[in-house]
Amino acid sequence: MSNLKEYVKKGLFYQSVVEDGSDIIFIVDYLGEILYHNSSVEETLGHKPDSLIGKNFFDFILPETLKEFKSRYDDSIRKHYNESVEFQFLCKNKTYKYLEFNSINLKHKNEIEGLILDCRDITQRKNVAEELLRAQKTKDQFLANISHEIRTPINGIAGMATLLSQNPTLEEQATYLNAIKSAADNLKVIINDILDLASIESGKLKFENIGFNLKDLLASLIDTFSVQTAEKGVLLELDVKSEANLILIGDPVRLNQILINLISNAIKFTHNGSIRLSCTLEQKERSKCVVRFDVTDTGIGIPKDKLSTIFESFSQADASVTRKYGGTGLGLTIVKQLVELQKGKISVKSQEDKGSSFTVLIPYAIGHPDDIAETSLRAKRSQTYRNSLKNLNVLLVEDNDINRLYANSILKTWDCNIELAENGYVAVEKIKNNVFDIILMDVQMPVMDGYEATKAIRSGEPPKSLVPIIALTANATRKDIEKCLSAGMNDCVPKPFTPEDLFRVLLKHSGNKSKMPRSPAEIEKEKSLKLIDLSYLQSVSNNDKQFIQEMIDTFLESMPKSIVDITRNVEVKDWESLAKAIHKIKPSLTMMGMQTLKSAAIELEQMCKSEILIKAIPSESELFTRQLKEALRELESVKF
Distance between CA atoms of residues 76 and 85, nearest Å:
9
What's the pLDDT band for 424 if we cut at 50, 70, 90?
A: very high
Question: What's the pLDDT score for residue 543?
Answer: 76
Based on the fold, state whether residues 196 and 280 are members of the same structural domain: no
Domain end position, chosen among 71, 106, 121: 121
CATH of residue 422's domain is 3.40.50.2300
* Chain segment 194-234, per-residue pLDDT in tens: 666 666 666 667 788 888 999 988 988 887 777 778 878 89
Beta bridge partners of 364: 289
Q: How many domains does the chain have?
A: 5
Distance between CA atoms of residues 209 and 217, nearest Å:
15
Q: Which residues contact 546 (CB under 8 A, 6 or more apart)?
A: 640
203 CB neighbour count, 10 Å cutoff:
9
Based on the fold, state whether residues 563 and 601 are members of the same structural domain: yes
CATH of residue 338's domain is 3.30.565.10
Based on the fold, state whether residues 45 and 133 are members of the same structural domain: no
Question: What's the pLDDT score for residue 199?
Answer: 63
Identify the weakest region by mean pLDDT among 87-91, 570-574, 612-616: 612-616
Q: Is the pLDDT of residue 369 over 70?
A: yes
Q: What is the overall mean pLDDT for the chain?
A: 80
Q: Is the pLDDT of residue 527 over 60?
A: no
In a domain, 355, yes or no: yes
What's the pLDDT band for 440 if we cut at 50, 70, 90?
A: very high
Measure Cα distances from 476 to 149, 335, 483, 527 in Å: 19, 21, 10, 48
Question: What's the pLDDT score for residue 387?
Answer: 63
Instruction: Work out the percent of the chain whose per-residue pLDDT is above 70.
Output: 79
In 3D space, the residue among 224, 222, 227, 236 whose CA is nearest the CA of residue 299 turns out to be 236
| Sign of the alpha-carbon dihedral angle for 391, 392, 397, 401 | negative
Based on the fold, state whether residues 117 and 136 are members of the same structural domain: no
Question: What's the pLDDT score for residue 528?
Answer: 41
Q: Is the pLDDT of residue 401 over 90?
A: no
- The model's pTM is 0.44
What's the pLDDT band for 34 if we cut at 50, 70, 90?
A: very high
365 CB neighbour count, 10 Å cutoff:
14
DSSP 434-487: ---SEEEEESS-SSS-HHHHHHHHHTS-TTGGGS-EEEEES--SHHHHHHHHHT
* Chain segment 274-302, per-residue pLDDT in tens: 999 999 999 998 889 999 999 999 999 88
In a domain, 344, yes or no: yes
What's the pLDDT band for 356 if we cut at 50, 70, 90?
A: very high
Residue 244, domain extent: 210-367
Distance between CA atoms of residues 51 and 240, nearest Å:
69
What's the pLDDT band for 90 if we cut at 50, 70, 90?
A: very high
Q: Is the pLDDT of residue 15 over 90?
A: no
Crossing angle (nearest 10°) for helices 252-269 and 214-232 = 20
Q: Is the pLDDT of residue 172 over 90?
A: no
CA geometry: angle 209, 210, 212, nearest 5 deg: 130
Based on the fold, state whether residues 351 and 224 are members of the same structural domain: yes
In a domain, 319, yes or no: yes
Question: What's the pLDDT score for residue 599?
Answer: 77
Measure Cα distances from 400 to 199, 236, 396, 453 in Å: 27, 42, 11, 17
